[in-house]
Amino acid sequence: MIFDFDGPLCHLFARRTAASVARRLRETYAGPPGGSAGMWPETTDPLRLLTAAFDDSSLPRENARQMERSLTLEEVAAAEVAFPTGYADALVRTLCATGRTVAVATDNSADAVERYLAGRSLLDAFSSGRRPGDAPSRVCGRVCDGTAPLRLKPDPDCVLRALESTGADAAESLMLGDSARDAAAARAAGVGFVGYARNERKERELREAGAEWVVPTLRDVLLTVDPLAHV
């Protein structure tokens, strides 16, 4: 199973809010009033601001890369105090105990994901059995090396990398996500999709994105994997 990170595994910005992170990024990198950054979207989503920075041809590319590095530091700090999603830990462990392979495909930084998983004693579940020279890490976050456009969902890049890291066929794989972008990326990668909707707005968004299976709690997924799971 391929997990999105923020939502299905944890609530990343539960304490260090996304709005406060977006505000700090805008204040630091938007430049003087009247500049092109004035056209950046008014948003509380740091990833939308990052995309705007990379799409802004008047902003030096090094500034955009520095903004991405700043966002990574913010995400790592948030990961240290993030709230776990209900039943997520048990689901990961049950998938592994029943012979399934797990991976992460996210627009967040791999550093933040690994910091969170290590804090929950789950990192080994996403790396067990790997040896030097094996398939890529099964924690597949955003890539920002300056040599290519920023490829965030709905681009299937991170899902395809996660799929490669498991060695599984797309037709035999499943992604668990909580946004329309997740659903679109899974579809583009040829991977099945289950939506996690913690409220009616999320469920509506996922249904409109074409998600056939939507669950309000990961308990439903856990009991599908193992009907005898102690929940």
Over residues 39-58, the pLDDT tens digits come to 889 999 999 999 999 998 88
Kindly indicate the confidence band of residue 88, based on its pLDDT and cuts at 50, 70 and 90: very high
Kindly indicate the confidence band of residue 145, based on its pLDDT and cuts at 50, 70 and 90: confident
Q: What angle do CA 198, 210, 3 make, to 5 degrees?
A: 50
Give the mean model confidence (pLDDT) for residues 144-170.
90
Q: What angle do CA 17, 43, 84 make, to 5 degrees?
A: 30
pLDDT tens profile 104-129: 999 999 999 999 999 999 999 998 55
* Distance of alpha carbon 171 from alpha carbon 65, whole angstroms: 35
Cis preceding-peptide flag for 154 (omega within 30 of 0): yes
Which is more confident, 57 or 70?
Answer: 70
Q: Which pTM does this prediction carry?
A: 0.93
* Distance of alpha carbon 152 from alpha carbon 150, whole angstroms: 6
- Give the chain's length: 231
Residue type, 84: P
* Distance of alpha carbon 214 from alpha carbon 52, whole angstroms: 30
CA distances from 116 to 81, 132, 158, 161, 197 (A): 8, 23, 18, 20, 21
In what order do the strands lie in the sheet containing 174-177? 139-140, 103-105, 2-3, 174-177, 192-196, 213-215
- The reported pLDDT for the residue numbered 185 is 98
